[in-house]
Amino acid sequence: MPLLINLQLLRQKAQQVTGELPVAEFAEGFQDDLVRFVAPLHHDLEIRYEGEELFIRGLLKTELECNCSRCLKTFRLRLELPDFAVLAPLQGEEAVPIEGDFANLTSLLREDSLLALPTAPLCKPDCRGLAVKAPARDSRSRDLSPAGPADGKSPWDALEQLKLK
């Protein structure tokens, strides 16, 4: 269910709105290999008129499941925007969608939540990443020695024989 605010009631006095948006509602169409939303977006907002715009401020928070960008370990991360604030126009190109007497604020919450996502999530700040050596049981390491392939050929040999003149 989208976050709808009654504009007629809002004209009379500021509104305090608390609730949750399901993941399917606020993260619709979001796809990322490293970050996934796993909990609803909780919001605690104060909304009031400022001329012909809505001033919205408050708290947004949710839970994420991430894969570390260095070691690929899966971990949980809390996403919190304690100082969420936006001035939403009611007219013009960037106006919030209005359906009858209601303004749909879901897109504003979605936009700021997505902008706050980590671009390279880390399981811990000092994560060292994947191990340098492949484990002995790794099938790719059977034919390799520390000096290179067992047959002594370099993968660059074919390139060195090219005549580009």
What DSSP string describes 28-80?
TT---SSEEE-S-EEEEEEEEEETTEEEEEEEEEEEEEEE-TTT--EEEEEEE
Whether the predicted pLDDT of 162 surpasses 70: yes
The token duo for 149 is: 């392939």
The token duo for 142 is: 């059977």
Per-domain residue ranges of the chain = 4-115
Looking at every residue in the chain, the average pLDDT score rounds to 86
Whether the predicted pLDDT of 145 surpasses 70: no
What angle is formed at CA 109 by the lines to CA 111 and CA 47, rounded to 5 degrees? 135
Nearest to 118 by CA among 37, 20, 40: 37
Whether the predicted pLDDT of 11 surpasses 70: yes
* The pLDDT of residue 161: 81
Confidence of residue 142 (pLDDT cuts 50, 70, 90): low
pLDDT greater at residue 144 or residue 48: 48
69-113 pLDDT tens trace:
999 999 999 999 999 999 999 998 989 999 889 999 998 999 999
* The pLDDT of residue 67: 94
Confidence of residue 159 (pLDDT cuts 50, 70, 90): confident
Confidence of residue 164 (pLDDT cuts 50, 70, 90): confident
* The pLDDT of residue 20: 93
Quick one: DSSP state of residue 109? H
Segment of 69-73, 145-149, 152-156 carrying the highest mean pLDDT: 69-73
Please tell me the pTM assigned to this model.
Answer: 0.70
Quick one: DSSP state of residue 139? G
Terminal CA-CA length for the chain: 66
23-54 pLDDT tens trace:
988 888 889 989 999 999 999 999 999 888 99
Nearest to 85 by CA among 129, 63, 116, 51: 116
